[in-house]
Chain A
Amino acid sequence: MTTTTGTTAVTGAVGAAHTRLEGRDKVTGAARYAGEIPFAELAHGWLVLSTIARGRVRSVESAPVLAMPGVLTVLHHGNAPRVDGSYAGMLGRPDPIVEVFQHDRVPYVGWPVALVVAETSEQAREAAEALVVQYDEEPHDIAFFADRPGTYTPENSPAAQAETEKGDIEAELAASAVVVDAAYTTPEEHHSSLEPHAATARWDSGRLDVVDSNQGSMWVADELAKLFSLDPASVRVRSEHVGGAFGSKGVRPHQILAVMATTVLHRPVRVVLTRRQMFSLVGYRSPTAQRVRLGADTDGRLRAFDHQAQSLTSTVHEFIERSADMGRVMYDADAHHTVNRVVPLDVPTPTWMRAPGEAPGSFALESALDELAEKIGMDPIALRARNEPDAGPVSGLPFSSRNVLACFQEGARRFGWADRDPRPGTRREGRWLLGTGTAAATYSSGVVPSTAAVTAETDGTFTVRITAADVGTGARTALALIAADALEVEPGRIRIQIADSDFGPAMIAGGSMGTRSWGWAIMAAARELREQLVLGGDIPPQGITARSDTGAAVSALAKKERHSFGAQFAEVAVDVTSGEVRVRRMLGIFAAGRIVNPLTARSQFIGGMTWGLSMALHEEAIRDQASGGHVGADFAGYHFAANADVPLIEADWVDDPDADDPVGIKGIGEIGIVGAAAAIANAVWHATGVRHRDLPIRPDRVLLAGTRPAGERDA
C-alpha cells in the first residue's frame, strides 16, 4: 500500500486483530455509561410528553404535582429558560425539538410538554404520571402513502441534489426490450440503541459540565453553547461509553432539559429517557414509498434508470431520507433519473439511521435489479457486471476505487452461487421452501476535518487526545492501533482519551466517517510529534505535545466518487404452512478500505448485516391513524432481531486500501446493512416464486401472497 502522507507499518498494529481496550471494563460491568456517573445532590428529571398529535397546550397544572413528595420543580413552556435555536450547527439547522418548552404548539404525539424534577427517580416518575396537561386539540394527518397530496420535491443544493436527470426516460423505456416497473415500501424503523439517552448536567466553577451519551461531544457542546448563548469554552461535554447510537445520539431534548433544570435548581440534574419516550424523541427512519423503473436490452445493458423515492418529515423540520441516491453511484443508463421527495405530516422529524438513504433505497433498487435479471433470464451478478460504470453515472467523476465485482466474485465462490438453479420454487425440504439471493452494497466514503493532540510522556508512553466517540464500533481501539503504527511503538505504549469536548473539534461518529477522520488527525499529530522528538533533548514533566488540524489536507482532496462497495448473499427457508421466513445463512464480502482491526471490523459488518436481516423480516413501527401515536412503542410492539432470529452470518473483505487516505481507511459503519434486506427478499422470491416488495416480509404477507412454483410464474 502506498499513501500520500508517508505512514509506516513497522509495528504492524493496524491490520492485526486486537480485543477492545475497554473490553475488560465492559465484561465486568466497570464501564460507566452516561446515566451511571455518581454526583452528590443529584436530582432526577422525568419527561412528560404530549398525548395529542396537533394543537396547543392550554394548561400545565403543576400545583398539585409540586405538592407531591420530593418534587423540586415542573418546567414547561410557561416557565422554562429561553433558548435560541436559530443557528446552523455542525450538521446544519437543528430539529426544532431542541427548542424545548419555548411555545405552546404541539406538532405530534410525544412532543415534550413538561419536565418534573424530584429528589428521586421514583418521585419524579410518579409526579410526571400524575401531571395533568390540558390541550386544545386540532385535527391531524399522519397518513403516509405513495404520491399523497402535499408531497414535494425539495430544493437542490450543491451538497445534496434532490433530483438528477439526464436523457429521455420515457423514450428509452419505450425502446427497451425488457422493462421492470415496480413499487416498493419500507416501514418506519427505530434505532433502538439498548442504552437509552441520558445526560447529567451541572454547573462547575462557572462551566457547564454535561455527562452524556452521544456520537460527538464537541457537536453537542457547540450546540448547547449556541442554544443557551454561552461562551463555547464554558461548555464541556463528555461521553466516555455509549451504549449504541446508530444515528440517534445527537442533540436531543434530554441534554437541553438537564441544562435547563440544573440552571434553575443549582444542583446536578439527570434526565434519562424511557424506552417508550425514545420512540418520539430521538428520531427514526422514515417509511418510504419507492418506484423503480428499469429498461434494458436483452443483453442486460440498461437504457433507462429511474428511481423515485418518497419519505415523510414533520411539519416543523425538513429531513429527507435519500433513498434514491444509490443509483447515482451504482448504475448508469442512457436515460437516468433519481429523485427524493418528501411530505410533511403530524409526526416527529425522522433522522439519520444506519445507512440513511442506502438502507431503504438498496432494498428497492437491488430488488428491482433482481427482477430485471429474472425477466431477461440472466444471472443477477452477470447483470450487475454488465452495467459496471466507468465513472460516476451522474457526476462523471472517476471512482477512487470500485471493487464491487471483486466482492461478487469472492462472495459467489464462497457462497456456492455457481451451483444455484436460477428457477424459483425448486428446492424444498419438508414444509420449507429454500432459496438464495444476492444484492450489491455501497456507501459513501467521506472524511471531515478534525483535530487531535498526541503527547510524548516522560515514561515512554504516548497520550492521544481526540474528541472521538466509541459507540460500539471499536473506534477507541482502532485509533490506538493507528497511533501505535504512526509512532512506531507497541500499542501498549499508547494511552487514548476520547469523547471530551475539551479535546477540540472533531468529526462525530457518523456517516462511516468517524474512524477515518480521526485516524487522519492522529496520523498528522503523530508525524508532527516525531519531527519534534527527532530534535532530541529531555522530555519535560508535562511531556511534549503536538497538535493537528486536518482541515487543509482534507479540503485538498481531489474530487472523486469515493465509496465502499460490497456483495450480499443470503439463503432463506420459507415455511409454507406458517409463512415464516428463516434466514439460514448470510455472507457479505466488502471492499471498504483498509481494515484497521479485523476482530471489531468483522463484528461491525456482521452487525450491519444483522440489521439488514432485521429490516427484511421484523422491524416495523405501527402508527394509529386515530391517535397519531404508536401502537406498542416498546420492544414487544417493535421487534428487532433476537438471537434466535439470526443464523451464522459471515463477513469478509477484499483488499481495497484508499490511496488518498493516510491509513487507507474508507469507513465501515453503514455498509453492512446496505443490500442485505434485498438479498433476503430476492432469496424469498427464489424460494417461493413470489416477489415481496413491502417490508418487513411478515408471515401474513407470505401466506397471503402464496407461492408459485417454477413453471407457473409469469413469463
Chain B
Amino acid sequence: MALSTSSAITLNINGEKHTLPVDHRTTLLDALREHLDLTGTKKGCDQGQCGACTVLIDGRRAVSCLQLAIASEGRVITTIEGVADGERLHPVQQAFLDLDGYQCGYCTPGQICSAIAMIEEHAAGWPSAATADVRPEAGAPPLTADEIRERMSGNLCRCGAYVSIVQAVAQAAEAEAAQTPTTARQFSGPSGPGDLAHPAGTTDAEMTA
C-alpha cells in the first residue's frame, strides 16, 4: 500500500480558516506563498538564517520556513497581511513607513512581525543578551537601542536599514506603551529617539565595560 504523501489540513491564518491539501514536505512558508496567495511573507534563505519569513504563531515570532504546514494545524497564525487593523496600519508598520525603516522592502514583513512580537516579549520582562540585570524581579529592562539591536538580530537586512529599523521599533514601542499603560510595562531610560538623537561626538552607551 502506498503511503499517502499529502493531507487536507485546516490552517487558522489572520482569523480565517483555510482548508487545503498539502504535500507533507510543504513548509508553512510555501503553503502561505504558493497555496494561499499570502505572498507578504518572504523567502530569503529557506533555512532559518535570515528571518524574512517571520510570522506570529500563537502570538510568538517564528520562521515559517522551518515549520511544516502540516504541523501548523491548530495554531493561530498571523502574517504581515493580518497585523493592520483594517486600513489603519499597526504602529510598527506606520513607524517603518514614516521613518524609512527599509529600502528594498523584502525583509520588511519579517522585520515588522518580529518587532511586534519583540515589543511584547520585552514588555513581558523577557531578558536578552543585552540585558544588564537578568534577575526576574528586575522586570523589563529599559528598551534601549542596544536592546532593540540585540532582539532584532534574527532579521537580516542587506540594504543596511538597521539604523532606521531601530528608530522605528523604538517609536512604535513608545506608541504602544502609551496606548496600554499597564504597570508591568516600563519604557524608562534612553529608549528610542531620545537615545538615538544624541549628537555625533558623544559616545553610544554601547560598550561601557
Contacts and interface: CB of A to CB of B under 8 A. Distances in A.
B164 interface: yes
Given A275-B46, A644-B150, A36 B158 contact: no
Interface stretch (A441-449, A542-550, A647-655): A647-655
Contacts of B161: 603, 606-607
Given A585-B200, A604-B103, A643 B152 contact: yes
Contact of A634 (B47, B81, B199, B206): B47
Closest 10 CB pairs of A and B: A29-B40, A243-B106, A610-B160, A472-B104, A430-B209, A26-B105, A607-B160, A472-B103, A29-B80, A36-B39
Interface string B157-189: 111111111100000000000000000000000
Interface residues of A, number: 81
Contacts of B25: 122, 126
Contacts of A38: 37
B100 A643 contact: no
A473 to B, nearest CB: 7
Interface string A591-605: 000000001101110
Interface residues of B, number: 71
A609 B160 contact: yes
Interface in B85-139: 89, 93-94, 96-98, 100, 102-109, 112, 130
Contact of A196 (B34, B44, B207): B44
Nearest to B47: A634
Nearest to B130: A644
A299 interface: no
Contacts of A650: 200
A30 B103 contact: no
A647 B206 contact: yes
Given A28-B93, A582-B207, A607-B159, 19 more contacts: A24-B97, A28-B89, A29-B39, A122-B30, A126-B25, A191-B158, A194-B52, A244-B106, A244-B158, A274-B46, A471-B104, A472-B159, A599-B100, A606-B160, A610-B163, A635-B49, A640-B156, A642-B162, A648-B145
A643 B162 contact: yes
A429 interface: yes
A642 B114 CA distance: 14
Contact of A649 (B50, B153, B163): B163
B163 A275 contact: no
27 contacts: A22-B105, A26-B102, A27-B94, A27-B109, A28-B84, A29-B39, A29-B109, A30-B81, A31-B105, A36-B39, A126-B25, A194-B42, A194-B157, A195-B42, A196-B43, A241-B105, A243-B104, A275-B49, A430-B208, A571-B203, A600-B103, A634-B45, A635-B156, A640-B156, A643-B149, A643-B157, A645-B153
Nearest to B45: A275
Contact of A36 (B23, B33, B108): B33
Interface of A: 19-20, 22-24, 26-33, 35-36, 38, 69, 120-123, 126, 191-196, 241-246, 272, 274-275, 414-416, 429-432, 471-474, 569, 571, 573, 582, 584-585, 587, 599-600, 602-604, 606-611, 614, 634-636, 640-650
Q: Which of A19, A20, A29, A274 has the most chain B CB atoms closer than 10 A to its own CB?
A: A29
A619 B196 CA distance: 26
A609 B162 CA distance: 11
A414 B105 contact: no
B33 to A, nearest CB: 7
B78 to A, nearest CB: 11
Contacts of A195: 42, 44, 104, 106
B52 to A, nearest CB: 6
A20 B102 CA distance: 10
Contacts of A27: 80, 89, 93-94, 96-97, 102, 105, 108-109, 112
Given A19-B98, A31-B105, A646 B155 contact: no
Contacts of B42: 33, 194-195, 243
